[in-house]
Amino acid sequence: MSILNYPLIIAGPCSAETEEQVLQTCIGLAATKKVQVLRAGIWKPRTKPGSFEGLGLQAFPWLQQAKKITGLPVAIEVATPEHVEHALRYDIDVFWIGARTTVNPFTVQSIADALRGVHVPVFIKNPVNPDMELWIGAVERMERAGIQQIGLIHRGFSVYGNTDYRNAPVWSLAIEIKRRMQHLPMLCDPSHIAGRRSTLKAIAQQAVYLNMDGLMVETHIDPDNALSDAQQQITPESLLQLLNQLQWRSSLSNEQTFINALQKLREQIDYIDDELLMLLSQRMQIADKIGVYKKENNVAVLQMERWNNILERAYTKMKSLNLSQEFLQKYFEAVHMESIQHQTNVMRNI
């Protein structure tokens, strides 16, 4: 099967719990006419022992039955070569590699070896930690194993102290992955980013705005009584409502007026970017001179009072300039660190 249909919607329960739960959920999803692939967790890697960890082989016949009734392909997560072997024996159509697995190159390679010569689509979720190279490395291992259809799933990252999300989206990293791997479709898993139903729509809409190729959403016929991830699952009916409310947009337009207007605006941005780069270069030249004076006078590079003054001046001006405090903080932190590096190089006579 092809995984390039747009938008690709994969949905189903976090965990396969009972035959009735799986079949009712999948039949409800098929009735939406918007879900292309059904999903269910067969093995559930939990953070601590004692939680519901899936039913394993017992659940496979239920997925086979759901596939037969609905006519839709089915997808599961695989985390070991043995999982791959079982999934192939039960004719699972789509595999995905979970975040806890992507973080381990040894495990990813063993799965790639097990899939060698198999013609099945494989989606790869981002690693738990925000490490782009691990994500790309997992893709490359699958490509070297000869997997022809590979996709990415952005499900957010574990960040210490994060409270707004179950897993912080770090959209900038997802955008950079899309830039570097433009040949691969990318889905968003808003369920694992949100961790709760109340913010699911907002996250899904942001993913659509960022031109992602589809969504993977956890759904359950009775979410409140789910054995895993109850707070983030929604019913098939709620999923249909969510999908109908999203503002889907095309990635391109053939309208010439639009193309011409967009080109002119982009040319203006390119010009401003060139000016910004020149100004940043001049700023660092001044930082080099400051480094010389500090070195000659035996003064430390980092001056916290000056750094606080820079931030305070920026925050004072941000409202009139229509810039957010979050952006200004990240921008000035990056500039400040580059300035510190320049002055440190001067101290070291580099």
Instruction: Give the DSSP letter string of 284-326.
Output: HHHHHHHHHHHHHTT--S--HHHHHHHHHHHHHHHTTTT--HH
Residue 350, pLDDT score: 62
How far apart, in whole angstroms, are the C-alpha atoms of residue 175 and residue 153? 12
List pLDDT tens digits, range 133-152: 999 999 999 999 999 999 99
Q: What burial class does residue 219 get, using C-beta atoms within 10 Å of its C-beta: 0-12 exposed, 13-18 middle, 19+ buried? A: buried
271 domain-assigned: yes
Query: In this structure, is the dihedral angle defined by the CA atoms of residues 248, 177, 193 and 233, taken in order, positive or negative?
Result: positive
196 and 119 inside one domain: yes
234 and 315 inside one domain: no
List pLDDT tens digits, range 222-266: 999 999 999 999 999 999 999 999 998 777 778 889 889 989 999
Residue given tokens 């949905």 in the structure block? 11
330 domain-assigned: yes
261 and 224 inside one domain: no
250 domain-assigned: no
Overall domain count for the chain: 2
Token digits of residue 7: 């938008």
231 and 110 inside one domain: yes
157 and 68 inside one domain: yes
185 domain-assigned: yes
Residue 54, pLDDT score: 86
Q: Kindly report the CATH number assigned to the domain that includes residue 324.
A: 1.20.59.10
Q: What is the DSSP letter of 157?
A: B
Q: What burial class does residue 49 get, using C-beta atoms within 10 Å of its C-beta: 0-12 exposed, 13-18 middle, 19+ buried? A: exposed
How far apart, in whole angstroms, are the C-alpha atoms of residue 19 and residue 17? 7
116 and 180 inside one domain: yes
Statement: residue 87 has pLDDT above 80: yes
186 and 262 inside one domain: no
Statement: residue 116 has pLDDT above 70: yes
174 domain-assigned: yes
